[in-house]
Chains A and B, each alone.
Chain A
Amino acid sequence: MPDIRNIPAEAWDWEKGTLKRGLLDNVCNELDKQALAFALGLRANTGGRIVSLSMGPPFAERVLRYALSVGADAGVLLTDRKLGGADTAATAYPLGQAIRKIAKDSFDGNRDYIIVSGMQSVDGDTAQVPPQIAEELGITHIAYATSFDFPEGQLQIRRITSRGAEIVAPQSYPCVITVAKWTEPPNALFSRTRWAYGQILFQWSAADIGADDARLGLPGSRTMVNRIFSPKELSRRTCVFEKDMTRLVGLLAEAYARKSKTAQEVRTEQPYQVLGGKKPHYAGEVWVYIEHNQGEVSAVSPALPFRPEFWMSCCRIGGNRKPPSWQSYWAAR
């Protein structure tokens, strides 16, 4: 992924709403380093092999070299122009296909393996790709892992939940585990780095993984970015020190009314600017991922940027049950 910690001003293409990737360094996603550390830790306990897989332009091979340099056994680069411009669904599908191929070619049909991934990329922040891979492959998915243990030889994963942490165990293999920040990113030895750069990587195209072209890249994507913008400060902030309670309530009410009005004005003044004349359209089904936690809907679920009413209706359709804490949750926002 591009190094977004240091974006020079000239790397923004404001008209197209994109980043000029050539002006940014290509780095390994920090959370994928966490996933690598997790995989290395698992291997130290169970033995086995680590195959690192990345999808991206040819220069993404450096990320695989890093994985090899810290201990991975093999690297697979999925690279094809057809894969460019993919959203999360069109990313998960080819990755799923590549995992099927790795399992078939490399594990001789043995299904006793784990797919470990960073919980999200720090540039896209969606956290959707690993669960979508699990759905694609029809396997179990454990999200937000922070550590593991092997009591009595059985793998147990500690994961973050909206109420703290819980310990779960995969009931079947293969499974997907996504990893949160849990340790320090692995460092490479010079000698191993030199070895890593001498290794041959597997380089696969869309055809190699037997992918259906209609599900790849921009044409295969279900979402697209319409517009990208920097949020602008709507009004200047001022501090008022009011001791009279009645006047304070009046000021609050006034400010609230003013804010609502401003937000309304902004909405009407700035309609969506459609890129390249493409109108946003909707086709297909809406999938809503709702996490359950001890019989209730987890508050983490609606953390996606949807409107509350939308979520409420989804929830009613899905579970026919209104979560008791949501109104207060949204009110608090």
Chain B
Amino acid sequence: MKTDEMVLLLGDRVALKVPSFMVPSSMSHKGDYLISVSEMVNWLGGVARDLGVEIYTGFAARELVVEDGAVRGIKLGEKGLNREGGRQPNYVPGEVLEARVTVLGEGSAGLLSEALVRRFSLGADRNAQVYSLGVKEIIRLSDQNSFGANRVIRMVGFPSRPDIFGGGAIYSMGADSVSIVLVMGLDWRYCDLDPQRELQIFKSHSFIRKLIAGGEVVAYGAKTIPEGGFYSVPELTAPGAIHREDQPSHVTFSEEGKDSGCSQEFGCHPCAAFCPAEVYKFKGDELILSPSNCLHCQTCRLKCPHQVIQWRVPEGGDGPSYRLM
């Protein structure tokens, strides 16, 4: 990163550059490297394989196996079940993988990590974790774009209301593409706030509109970001297990959630708004679920006001296959 600017967006037209002396140096990314996480993970996978690490995709870890007070491995999810849970001709059971050490790399808000934290009280004396949601698009610009390479602009203000934590950024992905991202603390209090719509409003600010003029969206995605900071990090080890970040999962409602009456209570269906992937749609009060849209960001599980959405890793661990993000 050769340039790192901070800009305050006021209304949908005004953009004020914050003088660099006012930006704490710990917040500046000048001189840092910017890497696509998807590309890095693909590359790293190859490096690991070359070192003899066996990597198998297409298997979902369903639960921790805990015996005698220690993690002994994980149980995989079964495959080949139909919608009703009946066994199809291609059914295979979930096997148990035993290990001396189990390392969890589930990404933000991992289910097994949460189970581990609960089981071994690893979060005792720590702050509760809080999350924000980042929605992002990668936009291909023309070869003669004015944005250029090795540049990041971070923005605060528009379009988020003052009571919403977060901000946005636009940064180069090589010379002809940019990533544009909007991050919002998941504790927003508006039941109909749609993060994807907010991102589009963000893009409509005249300052940003000029930067991305003529561009074409080539990829998009969403993920939650743990925001609790150091004091929310649980103990990272338990007997037999190490907890690390990275990886994603399916959607059901708990029994009591079938009739949670959100529309009477809030006048709208919050999940139809907060899900950045349109997994939840409503025809009147009838829910139409599209789990295959799921981006595995886990916003639903964290943001559902009645906490009735149950989410688990789908069969085979299928999820969004990001290539550029």
Q: Which residues of A contact B (CB under 8 A)?
A: 6, 8-10, 23, 25, 37, 183-191, 193-194, 197
The 7 closest A-B pairs by CB, nearest first: A184-B90, A187-B79, A187-B92, A187-B90, A9-B218, A184-B88, A190-B95
Taking the complex as formed, is B323 at the interface, i.e. its CB lies under 8 A from any CB of chain A?
yes
Inter-chain pairs besides A37-B89, A187-B79, 9 sampled, C-beta below 8 Å? A9-B140, A25-B321, A187-B90, A187-B316, A188-B58, A188-B92, A189-B95, A190-B56, A190-B95
CA A193 – CA B54 in complex, angstroms?
11
Given that A184-B90, A187-B80 are contacting pairs, would A8 and B324 also be in contact in the complex, using a CB cutoff of 8 Å? yes
Hey, which chain A residues are within 8 Å of B323, CB to CB?
Answer: 8, 23
CA A25 – CA B92 in complex, angstroms?
25
Taking the complex as formed, is B216 at the interface, i.e. its CB lies under 8 A from any CB of chain A?
yes
Taking the complex as formed, is B59 at the interface, i.e. its CB lies under 8 A from any CB of chain A?
yes
Taking the complex as formed, is B219 at the interface, i.e. its CB lies under 8 A from any CB of chain A?
yes
Considering the complex, give the chain B residue whose CB is closest to the CB of A5: B321
Q: Are A183 and B218 in contact (CB under 8 A)?
A: no
Could you say which of A25, A37, A190, A193 has the most chain B C-beta atoms within 10 Å of its C-beta?
Answer: A190
Considering the complex, give the chain A residue whose CB is closest to the CB of B94: A190
Taking the complex as formed, is B97 at the interface, i.e. its CB lies under 8 A from any CB of chain A?
yes
CA A186 – CA B323 in complex, angstroms?
27
CA A23 – CA B324 in complex, angstroms?
10
Hey, which chain B residues are within 8 Å of A25, CB to CB?
Answer: 321
CA A37 – CA B316 in complex, angstroms?
18
| 20 chain-A/chain-B pairs, Cβ below 8 angstroms | A6-B321, A8-B218, A8-B323, A9-B140, A9-B218, A23-B323, A25-B321, A37-B90, A183-B90, A184-B80, A184-B89, A187-B79, A187-B316, A189-B92, A190-B59, A190-B76, A191-B95, A193-B59, A194-B54, A194-B56
Instruction: Type the 1/0 row for B239-252, where 1 means its CB is closer than 8 Å to any CB of A.
Output: 00000000000000
CA A233 – CA B141 in complex, angstroms?
26
Considering the complex, give the chain B residue whose CB is closest to the CB of A189: B92
CA A259 – CA B255 in complex, angstroms?
57
Considering the complex, give the chain B residue whose CB is closest to the CB of A41: B89
SS of B interface (majority): strand
Q: Are A190 and B89 in contact (CB under 8 A)?
A: no
Considering the complex, give the chain B residue whose CB is closest to the CB of A183: B89
Taking the complex as formed, is B253 at the interface, i.e. its CB lies under 8 A from any CB of chain A?
no
Instruction: Type the 1/0 row for B245-269, where 1 means its CB is closer than 8 Å to any CB of A.
Output: 0000000000000000000000000
Instruction: Type the 1/0 row for B9-36, where 1 means its CB is closer than 8 Å to any CB of A.
Output: 0000000000000000000000000000
Taking the complex as formed, is B282 at the interface, i.e. its CB lies under 8 A from any CB of chain A?
no
Q: How far does the Cβ of B145 sit from chain A's closest Cβ, in whole Å?
A: 16
Considering the complex, give the chain B residue whose CB is closest to the CB of A70: B90
Taking the complex as formed, is B91 at the interface, i.e. its CB lies under 8 A from any CB of chain A?
yes
CA A188 – CA B90 in complex, angstroms?
9
Hey, which chain A residues are within 8 Å of B59, CB to CB?
Answer: 190, 193
Instruction: Type the 1/0 row for B312-323, where 1 means its CB is closer than 8 Å to any CB of A.
Output: 000010000101
CA A25 – CA B56 in complex, angstroms?
15
Hey, which chain A residues are within 8 Å of B88, CB to CB?
Answer: 184
Q: How far does the Cβ of A35 sit from chain B's closest Cβ, in whole Å?
A: 14
CA A208 – CA B253 in complex, angstroms?
57
Given that A23-B323, A37-B90 are contacting pairs, would A10 and B140 also be in contact in the complex, using a CB cutoff of 8 Å? yes
Considering the complex, give the chain A residue whose CB is closest to the CB of B59: A190
Q: How far does the Cβ of A225 sit from chain B's closest Cβ, in whole Å?
A: 25
CA A23 – CA B218 in complex, angstroms?
13
Could you say which of B88, B90, B91, B140 has the most chain A C-beta atoms within 10 Å of its C-beta?
Answer: B90
Q: Are A8 and B90 in contact (CB under 8 A)?
A: no
Given that A37-B90, A184-B80, A184-B88 are contacting pairs, would A190 and B140 also be in contact in the complex, using a CB cutoff of 8 Å? no
In chain B, positions 90-134 with a C-beta closer than 8 Å to chain A are: 90-93, 95, 97
Considering the complex, give the chain A residue whose CB is closest to the CB of B324: A8
Hey, which chain B residues are within 8 Å of A197, CB to CB?
Answer: 54, 56
Instruction: Type the 1/0 row for B39-62, where 1 means its CB is closer than 8 Å to any CB of A.
Output: 000000000000000101011000
Considering the complex, give the chain A residue whose CB is closest to the CB of B92: A187
CA A190 – CA B92 in complex, angstroms?
10
Hey, which chain B residues are within 8 Å of A183, CB to CB?
Answer: 89-90
CA A186 – CA B90 in complex, angstroms?
5
Given that A25-B321, A187-B90, A190-B76 are contacting pairs, would A9 and B216 also be in contact in the complex, using a CB cutoff of 8 Å? yes
Q: How far does the Cβ of B187 sit from chain A's closest Cβ, in whole Å?
A: 34
CA A194 – CA B91 in complex, angstroms?
18
Q: Are A185 and B90 in contact (CB under 8 A)?
A: yes
Hey, which chain A residues are within 8 Å of B58, CB to CB?
Answer: 188, 193
CA A185 – CA B216 in complex, angstroms?
36
Considering the complex, give the chain B residue whose CB is closest to the CB of A184: B90
In chain B, positions 176-221 with a C-beta closer than 8 Å to chain A are: 216, 218-219
Hey, which chain B residues are within 8 Å of A191, CB to CB?
Answer: 95
Hey, which chain B residues are within 8 Å of A185, CB to CB?
Answer: 90
In chain B, positions 156-190 with a C-beta closer than 8 Å to chain A are: none
CA A302 – CA B81 in complex, angstroms?
39
CA A185 – CA B91 in complex, angstroms?
10
Q: How far does the Cβ of B59 sit from chain A's closest Cβ, in whole Å?
A: 5
Considering the complex, give the chain A residue whose CB is closest to the CB of B56: A193
CA A177 – CA B59 in complex, angstroms?
31
Hey, which chain B residues are within 8 Å of A184, CB to CB?
Answer: 80, 88-90
CA A272 – CA B168 in complex, angstroms?
47
CA A165 – CA B89 in complex, angstroms?
22
Hey, which chain B residues are within 8 Å of A37, CB to CB?
Answer: 89-90
Q: Are B218 and A10 in contact (CB under 8 A)?
A: yes
Hey, which chain B residues are within 8 Å of A23, CB to CB?
Answer: 323
Q: How far does the Cβ of A191 sit from chain B's closest Cβ, in whole Å?
A: 6
CA A9 – CA B93 in complex, angstroms?
38
Q: How far does the Cβ of B218 sit from chain A's closest Cβ, in whole Å?
A: 5
CA A183 – CA B76 in complex, angstroms?
24
CA A308 – CA B218 in complex, angstroms?
40
Q: How far does the Cβ of B182 sit from chain A's closest Cβ, in whole Å?
A: 22
CA A183 – CA B82 in complex, angstroms?
12
Considering the complex, give the chain B residue whose CB is closest to the CB of A198: B54
